[in-house]
Amino acid sequence: MKSIRFFFIMILGLLGTNALAQTTLSEAVAPGNKVYFQLVNDKDHPIPDDEIEDVTRELVNAGGWISVATPEEADFILKVEAKKKMVFNSPRTWLTPSVLDKDGQELWKAKTQQADATMFNGFRATDTCIGKVIEKSFKADLFKKANR
């Protein structure tokens, strides 16, 4: 009997912890919140500066957030790991977004999205990769988990 009660207490504790994390993520990524965008550019294969501006602008706009200059001003941090290199004579871009709270604790992390430059996307691998992050990571995962 005690083991059954212990089992149910553990289940309720886990559910409560998950609900707490869900509320925290929901509060962090609410539309209109302030976000500090942190790009972690691969040292050996960085994306160019002009593409960094595109990534920043598009991802912040997709969430309906307001970009701020310092993490202290922000409600949360949007961290994006980025990499771009030539694969079979075609540029390929990888982006991995994650949401951090003000203390740097990870609240959510997406799967890495990648895109190749082809004639069908105007040889713009980074733009295509941004679109995949917005559709597959933000709309299909982050916003659902945050009840948006």
Distance (Å, whole) CA 28 – CA 16: 18
pTM score of the predicted model: 0.78
Give the tokens for residue 14.
Answer: 């886990």
In the chain (148 residues long), the average pLDDT of successive 10-residue segments reads 54 43 77 95 91 93 96 96 87 94 94 88 85 95 91
Question: What domains, with CATH codes, occur in the chain?
Answer: 2-145 (3.30.160)
Q: Which pLDDT score is estimated for 135?
A: 96
Which residues touch 146 (CB under 8 Å, ≥6 apart)? Answer: 22, 25, 26, 28, 29, 30
Q: Which pLDDT score is estimated for 12?
A: 43
Q: Which pLDDT score is estimated for 118?
A: 78
Q: Would you say 58 and 65 are in contact if contact means Cβ atoms under 8 Å apart?
A: no
Length of the chain: 148
Closest to 125 in 3D by CA, of 55, 56, 60, 63? 55
| Partners of residue 34 on adjacent β-strands | 66
Long-range Cβ pairs for the range 104-107 (8 Å, 24+): 104/77, 107/21, 107/24, 107/25, 107/28, 107/76
Q: Which pLDDT score is estimated for 59?
A: 95
Give the tokens for residue 92.
Answer: 């390929």
Q: Which pLDDT score is estimated for 22?
A: 40
Q: Which pLDDT score is estimated for 117?
A: 83
Interstrand relation of 113-116 and 76-87 (parallel, antiparallel or unpaired): unpaired
